[in-house]
Amino acid sequence: MLVVKQLEDLFKATLLVLIIVAVVADLPVVVSGVDDVRRTDFPDTFVFGAGSSAYQVEGAAFEDGRTPSIWDTFAHAGIYGGANADVSCDAYHKYKEDVKLMADMGLEGYRFSISWSRLIPNGRGLINPRGLQYYNNLIDELLNHGIQPHATLCHSDIPQALQDEYGGWMSRKIIDDFAAYADVCFKEFGDRVLYWTTLNEVNVFTIGGYDNGLTPPNHCSPPFGIKSCSTGNSSTEPYIVAHNILLAHSAAVRLYRGKYKSTQHGFVGLNLFAYRPLPYTNETADIIAVQRVYDFYVGWFANPLISGDYPDIMKKNVGSRLPKFTREESTQVKGAIDFIALNHYQTVHVKDSSSSLDSKIRDYNDDGAFEIIYTDEDSPPGQIEYPVTQPGLGDILEYLKQAYGNPPIYIHENGQLTRRNATLNDTSRVEYLQAYIGNLLDAMRNGSNVKGYFTWSFLDCFELFDAYGSAFGLYYVDLDDKDLTRYPKFSAYWYSNFLKGKDSKHTALVDIEDKLHSSQ
């Protein structure tokens, strides 16, 4: 009830604001193409959706044969102050309700991930029939509602069994196990899933997991850890892990192309996180450092996949700590990508720190010789939300277009950060979506080959860095309610109206006002 009341107040207040705004004519347009962005401006074949990942929403962590992933272990070690995703949004049991919400709001696609340890509890070998059933049910439910499934095979959550057995991504043994897991997914689900992503945010996974220790599996070594770690080597492990990831990814792509592509006709990509980096000053050193940020974050994975080897600057700065591709590996990796999936949230500023190359013990940031700075413009003081005045998605897309020959791209994550609490008035999320989708349209009109856009996230879920502290959802999930009721935020209504072709913000709000009245 409280929530309904809030929503009602919200829209009364917003309508009032709109009336006032209408009187003040000729408001400055901050970002081009934004105010009038429409679904019909994008191709029919383009897909708009929202996303999630297995550990972050499923819950049922110990049910029906699932075993822990490295993320369960990380959470249960108390790193989130006791919070974990044992239950989270309980999407394992509530998938029908969720798919109904997606269909009602007009989502065209849903990006989810498969929990490896739910499907194959020991990491390799026997398939868990109840895991198989769950993903079959979810995929069928989506398709029955006309929603395109986009599946990720691994979203930071490899089976703990493989971490224990041979050190997970630190061992080359994972390449065969990952390919075998991918084979099961392609075989079982590939008749219905056409869009596959092998691994999510591989650069963040590698840096967070093996350099600063902030994310699973929490490896790092002094002086580089931000969290404390019991094991690791920040100078070497990130590069070894990234190398094994590239080999595992390309093994899965090769398998798909050899065994499934001709009958299933799907596509396999890899997901990368990217900031939009701007120079901290206009000094040449900072401008050159921006290129190093692109090379270290994006080129680390994209260069091998597009041209068969790491960027020259990485080979130079990392030296013997950077694994080398054999001729055969290079051939396997080169071209092993049908699309690049991109997660992007915000602009940062970049400062040269070439002096860090003088240190004897170096990590990834030292090797990159850059410092990432959040200026007041990137992250206004006292405000948790990302600013929306200068969306930089178009800049990254332009960079990818020029550096890599305009590859097909899916935006897999983009969304506004707020505190997770009961307010449904997420005006800043609506402004963010408008600004970024408008910016995306501008980039596409200038030739960028983008095929789809998924906002992060469908539901407020368990977040990577702070569990239930922050939220990105279109829907608020009340964790204190045993039914884990989902409540649409302003952004859910806005996105829905955008998708259904009710374009202007004004129309959207009048429509919501009607809905509120008719539901009373």
Active site residues: 201, 413
Q: Select the residue interacting with ligand NAG from 419, 501, 504, 514 (CB under 6 A).
A: 419
Token readout for 139 is 């995929």
Closer residue to ligand NAG (CB): 78 or 447? 447
The H-or-E segment that residue 286 falls in is helix 284-294
Applying CB under 6 A, which part among 88-96, 97-105, 207-215, 231-239 lies near ligand NAG?
231-239
Binders of ligand NAG in range 258-287 (CB under 6 A): 281-282
DSSP assignment of 358-394: G-SS--HHHHHTEEEE--TTTS-TT--SPP-SS--HH
Contact partners, residue 448, CB within 8 Å, separation at least 6: 394, 397, 398, 400, 401, 406, 409
| Interaction of residue 32 with ligand NAG, rule CB under 6 A | no
Cβ–Cβ < 8 Å for 288, 352 = yes
Q: What angle do CA 14, 17, 21 make, to 5 degrees?
A: 140
Q: Compute the least distance from the CB of residue 221 to ligand NAG, in Å.
A: 4
Closer residue to ligand NAG (CB): 224 or 297? 224
Q: Select the residue interacting with ligand NAG from 148, 198, 425, 439 (CB under 6 A).
A: 425
Applying CB under 6 A, which part among 10-18, 98-106, 247-255, 302-310 lies near ligand NAG?
10-18
Q: Compute the least distance from the CB of residue 282 to ligand NAG, in Å.
A: 4
Binders of ligand NAG in range 171-200 (CB under 6 A): none
Closer residue to ligand NAG (CB): 67 or 448? 448
| Interaction of residue 491 with ligand NAG, rule CB under 6 A | no
By residue count, the chain amounts to: 520
Closer residue to ligand NAG (CB): 75 or 396? 396
Buried b (16+ CB within 10 A) or exposed e, 139-171: bebbeeeebbbbbbbbbbbbbbbbbebebbbbb
Nearest alpha carbon to residue 281 among 375, 386, 357, 354: 375
Q: Percent helix, strand and coil across the chain, each rounded to 5?
A: 45, 15, 40
| Interaction of residue 421 with ligand NAG, rule CB under 6 A | yes
Applying CB under 6 A, which part among 245-253, 296-304, 419-427, 456-464 lies near ligand NAG?
419-427
Q: Compute the least distance from the CB of residue 225 to ligand NAG, in Å.
A: 11
CA 48 to each of CA 7, 245, 287, 296, 426: distance values in angstroms, whole numbers, following the listed order: 25, 28, 34, 29, 20
Please state, in angstroms and rounded to a whole number, the distance separating the CA atoms of residues 160 and 68.
Answer: 6
Q: Residue 129: what residue type?
A: P
Q: Compute the least distance from the CB of residue 426 to ligand NAG, in Å.
A: 8
Please state, in angstroms and rounded to a whole number, the distance separating the CA atoms of residues 316 and 357.
Answer: 11
| Interaction of residue 447 with ligand NAG, rule CB under 6 A | yes
Q: Select the residue interacting with ligand NAG from 9, 140, 191, 481 (CB under 6 A).
A: 9
- Binding positions for ligand NAG, rule: CB under 6 A: 9-10, 13, 17, 221, 233, 235-236, 281-282, 384, 394, 398, 401-402, 419, 421-423, 425, 427, 446-447
